[in-house]
Amino acid sequence: MTFVCDQCRRAVNGEQHRTATRTLCRECFDGFRGQAAGLMAGGGVPNAISTAGWLQRVREAFRRDTDAGGAGR
């Protein structure tokens, strides 16, 4: 099955990998997954939906950290 990768814009004949918002070829998906896995420091491979939820949690955690950090003010 042929599709167009949303990241590199190539027409790819083979596996397609869906993220929360895009369809990627295997190469681009590996890069995408590598970034997430690096941040997760060794969990499993998250699927698109849990990745989105997880990212939101990280953002909230960072924000809370910054707010509670008490940098004066």
When asked if residue 58 is in the footprint of Zn ion (CB under 5 A), the reply is no
Assess 5 for contact with Zn ion (CB under 5 A).
yes
Nearer to Zn ion, 1 or 71 (CB): 1
Asked if residues 32 and 24 have their Cβ atoms less than 8 Å apart, the reply is yes
- 28 lines the binding site for Zn ion (CB under 5 A): yes
Q: Is 7 in the site for Zn ion (CB under 5 A)?
A: yes
CA distance 38 to 33: 8
21: Cα separation from own chain's centroid: 10
Does 29 bind Zn ion (CB under 5 A)? Our answer is no
CB 18 within 8 A of CB 48: yes
Nearer Cβ to Zn ion (1/41)? 1
- Alpha-carbon span 60 to 62, nearest angstrom: 5
List of residues contacting Zn ion (CB under 5 A): 5, 7-8, 25, 28
